[in-house]
Chain A
């Protein structure tokens, strides 16, 4: 019978060892999400300072590096905590292996965090001149205030590879074919712009309407293009049998299907419309709501994309 003929082509695994489940879990998602904020705010600040007078965003000089510094420390903390031998992290600096994007990324991210810390200190002490007025460190930092503007272009430049190196790690993770896409690089960049603009919205209360409108514009563009890229990956990404099998699993309503679509609707579609509407009528509360949705949705989307390829058996 024909159905037996079809069954005869099926191979069934009848005895095997248990396979590892999800190896890179929520800590790596959080790591990528936090890094998106840490570098994204730098891009957003660069754009806004290019477009507007600094007086229109009076607090950005210290809030931007502060947000970035906190996010980068969350990113570094969870990078460290996710290691099974966290104290050996030092080996990345003592025994670097330069073909590894993990090594290159760790060096760049450390340098980037250092520079952001300097900017945070300068920005903070300049913004609050009475704070620790007689402290030697504060005096020294205030003395090098122009250094902030000098290193900022370099920090913006460095933020690009720091944003993108995770995509290279994914490209090197050759066992997970869903990640082997050139679009991952741009996806990281859109995620940074999305997270950066969303994070800056929370400190934009006293900014000019025009500056806030630009923030909404960045959020709208980033959510739109990020969503389109996810859809492209989701529906057309038939690059290989493994990537196809991964996506077929999600398409068929498998685990993470709900989280993926929830993330798309909550984090991309809703914030897009909220941000667009905010460009016409300046509504701070709605914009903040859009920012929260975007940050939550981005986490969910990243989480799904990280986990689903790990569910395929490799052998």
Chain B
């Protein structure tokens, strides 16, 4: 069994339901995302179009994050999922350096690396990932890519002529996350411009910190003895406000 994901970008309408469902299901802290939907505008008025691209871990068959993890916190499950054991993670951020898709983040609450696990806990109970269940247009197709009769395999076969793509195939990571209806402009980050202050709802283009903003160098050593102070989402937002938004700031280091 090899579980995979396919997103039909022709169907996705950018409602961000999957993003919210993922946040709720996995209790992803503010400022972190296991799954996100990126809006990309192409062309000029009146020929402009807006494209929506859900981005999550690709669960590569040859995962660079698994290879670089010094303690096997990142590991393969039998069903092909690249899972993460937060209790073992040392927080070296090697996986964040290795993942070509930028799919791994440092959890600001646990100060360990985290990412999409295809909702491994739900799959274990025979349920579908939260993002699949919530999608109103069934743009997320999930299943066993080794099973020729699975929905995802049938979808891939049906659309192979019109182009089933993966992100960054040149990396030879053999991702198990496919896109239908995508192109260079939607899937290649270098083909997109990120204009400062151009975002629809916020002007933050880069995070100020990696991991917990209140977890400085000394705190990392003292935390097990002093107890980790309870910082909620509000404190996170306060810290975002208090800092200036230069991308040169190095958070957590």
A residues neighboring B (CB under 8 Å): 4, 7-28, 81-89, 91-92, 95-97, 99-103, 106, 169, 172-176, 240-242, 245, 255, 310-315
Contacts and interface: CB of A to CB of B under 8 A. Distances in A.
B193 A91 contact: no
A11 B191 contact: yes
Interface of B (DSSP majority class): loop
A21 B250 contact: yes
Contacts of B199: 13-16
Contact of B69 (A16, A22, A87, A97): A97
A260 to B, nearest CB: 14
A24 B33 CA distance: 20
A27 B36 CA distance: 30
Interface of B: 31, 33, 36, 38-44, 47, 50-51, 55, 64, 67-72, 88-94, 96-103, 105-106, 111-112, 167, 170-171, 173, 185-186, 189-195, 198-202, 204-208, 210-211, 215, 217, 220-221, 224, 247-253
B93 A24 contact: yes
B193 A102 contact: no
Given A11-B193, A96-B71, A103-B70, A172 B98 contact: yes
A19 B40 contact: no
Nearest to B32: A17
A16 B36 contact: yes
A20 B200 CA distance: 19
Contact of A84 (B103, B111, B201): B111
B70 A13 contact: no
Nearest to B31: A18
B60 to A, nearest CB: 10
A20 B91 contact: no
B89 A88 contact: yes
B64 A175 contact: yes
A21 B201 CA distance: 20
Given A13-B194, A19-B205, 16 more contacts: A8-B44, A16-B194, A18-B31, A19-B102, A20-B210, A21-B248, A22-B250, A83-B220, A84-B215, A84-B252, A91-B90, A95-B71, A102-B68, A241-B190, A315-B101, A315-B189
A87 B208 CA distance: 25
B192 A95 contact: no
B127 to A, nearest CB: 26
Contacts of A89: 90
B39 A13 contact: yes
A173 B68 contact: yes
Given A11-B42, A314-B100, A81 B94 contact: no
A299 to B, nearest CB: 15
A313 B188 CA distance: 10
- Minimum-distance CB pairs A-B, first 10: A84-B91, A314-B102, A25-B250, A25-B253, A15-B39, A173-B97, A102-B70, A11-B185, A84-B111, A91-B71
Contacts of B204: 18
A175 B190 contact: no
Nearest to B253: A25
Given A87-B224, A313-B194, A92 B248 contact: no
A138 to B, nearest CB: 33
B68 A7 contact: no
Q: Which of A12, A15, A100, A173 is the most central at the interface, judged by chain B CB atoms within 10 Å of its CB?
A: A15
Contacts of A103: 70-71
Nearest to B220: A86
A106 B71 CA distance: 11
A14 B191 CA distance: 14
Nearest to A28: B253
A51 B227 CA distance: 57
Contacts of B111: 84-85
B88 A81 contact: no
Name the residue in A21, A99, A315 with the highest tally of chain B Cβ atoms < 10 Å from its Cβ: A315
Given A21-B248, A96-B70, A314-B100, A16 B39 contact: yes
24 contacts: A8-B47, A9-B185, A12-B198, A14-B41, A82-B92, A83-B90, A83-B91, A84-B91, A86-B220, A91-B71, A92-B70, A95-B72, A97-B69, A100-B70, A103-B70, A169-B94, A172-B98, A174-B173, A176-B97, A245-B190, A310-B97, A312-B190, A313-B194, A314-B102
Contacts of A240: 170
Given A23-B96, A101-B68, A315 B55 contact: yes
